[in-house]
Amino acid sequence: MGRIIAVANQKGGVGKTTTSINLAACLAEKGKKVLAVDMDPQGNLTSGLGVDKNNLDLTIYNAMRDDCNVGECMIVHPLENQRLNLSLLPSSRELAGAEVEFIEMEKPQYILKQLLSKIRDKFDFVIIDCPPALGLLTVNSMTAADTVLVPIQCEFFALDGLTQLMYTINLIKKQLNKTLEIEGVVFTMFDSRTNLSLEVVENVKENLDQFIYKTIIPRNVRLAEAPSFGLPINLYDSRSAGAQGYRDLADEVINNKLYANM
C-alpha cells in the first residue's frame, strides 16, 4: 500500500513545494511509483512539474466536488519523455474557495482521503503539497496522510508557529486520523556560509522533540531556477548540490523506521 506523506508547515516560503516536487521526483528516479498531489490553490507544484495550471479542464478541485472521478483529473507522466514513474493531481485556483464551498459537504475533512483511498494501491508514495495555512485543505491532507513531513527554513524565526503546527497535528490525530505520525523534520535553505543557519539547526534540535532528517537541504540557486523550466532538480541540474540533497532525503524517507512494519 502506498505511503501518503503530507508536506506541511503553515508558514509560507519555507520550502514545502520545493520539497514536494523534488522529493517526489527523486523517489521516482529511484524506481518508486509516485503520485504528487497539489493541494495549494497557488498551483506551484503543478507548474513546477511543467503543467500549465491555467489550461486544465479538470483538476483535483473537480474531483473533490465529485464533478469527475479522480482518475479523470490525474496527469500521468507530466514530465513527458522523462520516463519517471510520476503522476500528478493538479491544483486549481478554485480550490481557494474550498473553505466555504466544501464545508457544506458531508464529512468535509475526509474528501481527499476518500479520493486517495481509491488509487493509493497503485503507488509506492503519494506526496501532498499543503497550502501555507492550517485550514480545511491542510486538514484534508493530514486526514488522508500516514505521516506529516515538516520543512523548516534555516532562518531566525524557524521555531515560530511550530507549536501551533504540532497542536494541529495532534488534534487531527485525536479526532480524524488516529494513525497519523510525524514523518520528520527537514531543514531547508541551509547556508553554509553563515553562522545563522548552523545556530538555527542547533536550536531546533535542542527544542524540538521530533525525528530530524540527517539530510539538510542547502540553499542552492538551481533549486530556485528549476520550477521556471517546469522541471524537478534532478532533471534540471542532476549534478547540483540541490539534486544531491533531495536524493539523500529520498533515500532517508525510503528507509524511515516509521515504516518498518508496513
- List interacting residues with Mg ion (CB under 5 A): 16-17
188 touches which of ligand ADP, Mg ion, none (CB within 5 to 8 A by kind)?
A: ligand ADP
- Least distance from ligand ADP to the Cβ atom of residue 179, Å: 25
- Least distance from ligand ADP to the Cβ atom of residue 63, Å: 22
Q: Which three cell numbers stand for residue 20?
A: 514536494
95 touches which of ligand ADP, Mg ion, none (CB within 5 to 8 A by kind)?
A: none
Element (H, E) at 150: strand 147-153
71 touches which of ligand ADP, Mg ion, none (CB within 5 to 8 A by kind)?
A: none
- If the CB atoms of residues 17 and 220 are measured against Mg ion, the closer one turns out to be 17
Of the candidates 37, 8, 41, 47, the residue with the CA atom closest to the CA atom of residue 168:
8
Residues that bind ligand ADP (CB under 6 A): 12-18, 44, 132, 188-189, 217, 219-220, 223-224, 242
Quickly count: other Cβ atoms within 10 Å of residue 250's Cβ: 24
Phi, psi of 215 (to 5 degrees): -65, 130
- If the CB atoms of residues 27 and 70 are measured against ligand ADP, the closer one turns out to be 27
- Least distance from ligand ADP to the Cβ atom of residue 186, Å: 10
Q: Which alpha helices (DSSP H) does 49-156 contain, by range?
A: 60-64, 70-73, 98-101, 111-117, 136-144
Rg (CA), the chain: 17
- If the CB atoms of residues 188 and 256 are measured against ligand ADP, the closer one turns out to be 188
Q: Do 17 and 48 meet the contact criterion of CB atoms below 8 Å apart?
A: yes
* Beta-carbon-side half-sphere exposure of residue 107 (alpha carbons within 13 Å): 10
112 touches which of ligand ADP, Mg ion, none (CB within 5 to 8 A by kind)?
A: none
